[in-house]
Each structure stands twice: as structure tokens, then as C-alpha cells.
Amino acid sequence: LYLFSDGPRKHIEDEVQQVQLVREWLQRNVDWPCDLQINFLKENIGTRYAIGAAVNWMFEQEEQGIVLEHDCLPHPSFFPFCHDLLAKYKEEEKVMHISGNNYLFGRISHDTSYYFSQHNISWGWATWKRAWQYYDADMKAYPMEREGLIKRLSNNKRIRKYWYNILDRVYSGDIQTWDFQWTFAMWQKRGVAIVPENNLVANIGYGAKAIHTANQKDKLAKLPLNEMKFPLKHPNQIVSDTLSDDYYIGNIIYPVFFLRLRFVQQFLQGIGFYKMK
């Protein structure tokens, strides 16, 4: 078990004390037999670098691992789900990420326990050292990969524009985060992520003090946890599920464009030109 904590932000009132209290609580409550490794930073290095530093540290000693941030609450079945798939795809270079999240809201179902996706959601996840080696918080390869990578991702100009904007801002430092860099690494290597059929991890950190999840009314703030059934039912081939990815893009990543598209569909239906399913 690897416990990593970024240092307190000195400009935030009482954060030094709060971080210390959390660290003490963590150490008191690891009450099961395990090899406990601790890496508590004195100085704050920020969201962009802290998560990567934690995972890098873990992979100095491990070949595979599960990553949970402090605000991610997993269902107990998340752990055997990761365990089974880390073993199954250990040597499969194309599979780079195992997610604990499903954001399809039951609108799309599969006859398997999981599907493959172009999108690696990272609120409770697992990966291998062989995949993580491509992670770079500064995305130094981005200028060379920018055009071809985004064009390969989607034929839709608005979707491309969205991702150009996001990745350009991450590369420039305008967006201070760590996870889009992991998405970039996966796309760069033409990898895929595993997404469970049921949502196995909830983010309970929505609120005013959150760095990226302040909106408590966000649809992702109240996602229930579900149990994964075993034995797992595996897909027959490693191919991204386009239908599921399109739904995810349209409802989570870039809903404005798809709301406009829906409006156009409804208008055309109203004048008898288009028939909606």
C-alpha cells in the first residue's frame, strides 16, 4: 500500500494543520497487514505534478497498480475487477488503462462486464508500468503529435476544436491538471481503456473546497456505486465501442454541441423532413 500526500498550500489558511491531521488519520486507520510505504511531501508541487509523482514512485517498485485519490470511494468489487484485468491484459500493449467509472447512466448496455474506450476516466483506475512509462506531465511530444492525433480521434470538426483547445491549454500550463496528459499518452500510443459495465467508483469530493469539482449539482456528483458480478464476461476483441464513446462525448465531455444537434434534429422532425428514432 502506497500513501502519497502533496505538501500543504501555504497560502490556504489552516491547510498545514489540516494536511497533518489527514496524514495522521491515514496512518492510524491502516489496520490490516500490509507493506505500507509512505511519501509525504513537505512542499506543495500542485495537481499537475503530484499525481504523476505518486504513480512514478509506485512504479519504481511495482509492475502494476491501482490508483485512488482521496475523494474517490470504490465499491469493494472494484478491487477484484482490477486484479483480474491487470492479470489478463498484462502483456497486451494496446490496453493501457482500467477505469472504475461508467458514465453511460444505463442508456447503453453491453452483454459483457466491460467495454473498450478511447477515453480513460481516472477517478479510480489501474494500469501497468509498461503503459505508464509514456506519461509526461509536460506533454513535450504534443507539438509534433498535435495535428495527426486529433484528426485520428474524430472526424467531427467541433469535437476536434474542443480537444485542440483543451490540450493546447494543458500544454501551455493554462489548465493545471494531470489527467489530460494521461489521455494524450494513451492516444499517442493508439491505446484503449477498459470501462466497467457498472459504475464502481464514486467521487465524493464535490464541494466549495474542491480544486476541479466545486459544482455539487453536477450529474457526476451523485452517481451510485454498483457491484461487479464475477466471473467476468470478456469482449471478444479489443476494439473501442464507438456508440458508447459517442454517448460519453455527447453527455459528459462536450454536451453543448450535441444539444445543438438534438435541436436541429427536432426542428427537421417538426417540418416532416427527419424522423427521430
In eight-state DSSP terms, residue 108 is S
pLDDT of residue 187: 97
pLDDT of residue 265: 45
pLDDT of residue 257: 45
User: What are the tens digits of pLDDT across the range 78-129?
Assistant: 999 999 999 999 999 999 999 999 999 888 999 999 999 999 999 999 999 9
Distances (CA, A) of 185 to 21, 71, 139, 164: 35, 24, 8, 15
User: What are the tens digits of pLDDT across the range 198-246?
Assistant: 999 998 864 445 444 444 565 665 788 999 999 999 999 999 999 999 8
Mean pLDDT check: name the lowest of 9-13, 75-79, 91-95.
9-13
CA 8 from chain centre, in angstroms, equals: 24
| 13 burial type by CB count under 10 A (0-12 exposed, 13-18 middle, 19+ buried) | exposed
**Helix-then-strand count for the chain, H and E:** 9, 9
Domains of the chain, each with CATH number or no CATH: 1-44 (no CATH), 62-240 (3.90.550)
Question: What global pTM score does this model have?
Answer: 0.87
CA quadruple 174, 179, 180, 186: dihedral sign: positive
Distances (CA, A) of 197 to 36, 78, 105, 110, 127: 32, 12, 10, 7, 18
